[in-house]
Structure 1
Amino acid sequence: MNRYHPRPPSLLDWPRAVAYYIYVALATVVLGLWGLPQVLVKPARAHRVATLWIGQMMGAARVILGVRIEVRGTPPTEDCLIAAKHQSFLDILAISQAVPQRAFVMKREIMRVPIMGWFAKQVGSIPIDRTRGSDAMKQIADEVEIARARPEGLGQLIFYPEGTRTRPGEKRRYKAGVASIQAATGLTIYPVAVNCGMFWSKRGIPIRGGVSVLDFLTPIPATGRPVEEVMAELEARVEAASDALIAEAGGLK
C-alpha cells in the first residue's frame, strides 16, 4: 500500500482512537502539573513545556495510531504569521511541532479550557472575539506589536482563515484577519497546505494510519497590496496545494 494513502478502515480504529485520547488527557494533566511551577517562576519556559507536550502527542500518534507527518517546504523560525488549512486536531499538532515558538489566534472559549488554555496564553496565543469585527483585529494587531517588543519576540502566530475545521475538499470563504494583521504589522505570511483530514477526521474519530503531509508554501511578504488581493492569493494557493495533497493521498472517495 502507498504509505501516503490512509490505512483501510479497521475494527481497531475506534479502540485505537479511544486509547490515544485517554493518553492525551493523562499526559496533559501530568505535564501541566509538572510545568506549572516552572512557568510561574519563568514564563518563557512555557514554550519548553509546550514542545514536550506536542512531542508526546505526536509520538503517541505514531505508536498508537500509526499516523506520521511529513513536513515539506521550509518552516519559519522568525517572527511571522502562518495561515493554514484546518482539517483536524492533527494539523494543529503538526504545525506546532514544525515551528519553534508557536502561538495561535483562537476562540476565547478555548482559552478557558483547564490547563491547555492557560498554557496557550503563556506561549502567546491571542483570543479573538469575532463579534467585535474590526475592533478585534485592532486588538490582535496591538497584542502582536507588544509581543514583538519582548526579548523572545512574537514567534510564529498561527491563523486558520476559514475559522473552523473543514472536511477534505470542503471550501469555506477565508476571513481577511491574517491579511489585515499583515497590513498593520508588516509581518510575512507563510501559507500552509495540509491533507490531515484524510487520516484524522474532523470529528476526531475515526483516525487512520499513514503519512500525512504538511506543506509550507512560498511566503507572502508585506508589500502594501490591498488586503483583498493578499487574501485572494492566499486562498487560491492554499486550496490548490491542499487539493493536490488530497489527490496524493488517494483522493476523495
Structure 2
Amino acid sequence: MATAFQWLRSLIFMIVIYAWMVILGILFLPYAIVTKRGALNACKTYARTTIWMARWMVGIRSEVRGTPPTEQVLIAAKHQSFFDILLIFNAIPHGKFIMKRELLWTPVIGLYAKRLGCIPVNRGKKGAAISKMVKDVAAEFEEPGQLVIYPQGTRVAPGAQKPYKVGTAVLYEGLGDPCVPVAANVGVFWPRTGILRKPGLAIVEFLDPIEPGVAKNTFMKHLETSIETRSNELMREVGFDPDAVH
C-alpha cells in the first residue's frame, strides 16, 4: 500500500514538473529570445522550483557538498538521472552541457539548450564527433562558463558499471582548464527509468579539481577512481550497497 501511494505521488510529481517546464518555457520565451540571460534565468528558476517540489511532493531531500566552481572549468560528473542535472546546474553560475544532438529537437529543452550554449554531439560518429565537440566548445567558451560532461556518456544506474569515454580527456587537454569531478547518489531515489521516486537524501558532491597538464591516461584513471569511489560511498551512506548489484 505504501509503495502504491508513493508511486501515485511520483506520477503526480512527474506530470507537474513537465507541465511546469512547458509553462516556464512559454513565460520566459520572449526574454530568452532577446538575451541569453533570459534563458539562464528560466532554467535556474525551473531547477530551483523542481528541487523544492521534489522535497515536499515525493520526499527527496537534496544536498550539494564540496565547493561548486564559479570560474571557467570542465565539470565531469556522475550521471544517474535527470535530478543530478538539476542539482549541478542550480549550484553553478553558468552551466553548459555536452548533450546528445537529438535533444536539440525536444520541445522547450532544445530551444533553451541552444540559448544556454550547450554543445550537441553526434554520438554515432565517435572520432569525428569528438573533433567537432572540441571546436564547438572552443567557440562557445568565448563566453565564460562551466562546461558539464558525463564521462560515461549516459545515465548509469546505481551499482552498474559502464566505461569512461576518452572524450573527457580530449576536452580537458584541449581547453587547458581544471577539471572538477562530481560524485552522486541521486539514482538511488530518482532512477533513470520508471515513475517511482523514493524518499531520501540525494547528494551531489564536487570533488577536488584536477589541475591542467596531467597526462591523458593518468587523468582518466584518476577521474574514474575519484568519481566512482566517492559515488559508491555516497550510495552506502544512504543505505544502498552498490556491490550487491554485481
- TM-score w.r.t. the length of structure 1 is 0.91
Higher normalized contact order (CA 8 Å, seq sep 6+, divided by chain length): 1
Q: Give the residue type in structure 1 aligned to 2:237.
A: E
User: What does residue range 46-61 of structure 1 map to in structure 2 within 5 Å?
Assistant: 46-61=39-54
The answer to whether 1:144 aligns with 2:134 is no
The answer to whether 1:165 aligns with 2:166 is no
How far did 1:204 drift?
Answer: 4.0
**Structure 1 runs of 4+ off > 4 angstroms?**
none
The answer to whether 1:236 aligns with 2:194 is no
Residue correspondences, number: 242
Q: Which residue of 1 aligns with 2:126?
A: 133
Secondary structure of the residue that 1:234 maps to in structure 2? Answer: helix
The one of 174, 187, 192 equivalent to 1:202 is 192
Instruction: Give the share of equivalent positions with the same residue, in percent.
Output: 37
Q: Which residue of 2 aligns with 1:193?
A: 183
Secondary structure of the residue that 1:83 maps to in structure 2? Answer: strand
Secondary structure of the residue that 2:3 maps to in structure 1? Answer: coil
Unaligned ranges ≥5, structure 1: 1-8
CA distance in 2, matches of 1:41, 1:214: 33
- Deviations along 1:54-74, one digit per CA (max 9) or x if unpaired, are 112111111211111111110
CA distance in 2, matches of 1:204, 1:147: 35
Q: Give the residue type in structure 2 aligned to 1:79.
A: Q
The one of 100, 121, 130 equivalent to 2:114 is 121
Higher helix share: 2
Unaligned ranges ≥5, structure 2: none
Q: Give the residue type in structure 2 aligned to 1:227.
A: K
Q: Which residue of 2 aligns with 1:102?
A: 95
The one of 32, 35, 48 equivalent to 1:39 is 32
The one of 219, 225, 247 equivalent to 2:236 is 247
- TM-score w.r.t. the length of structure 2 is 0.93
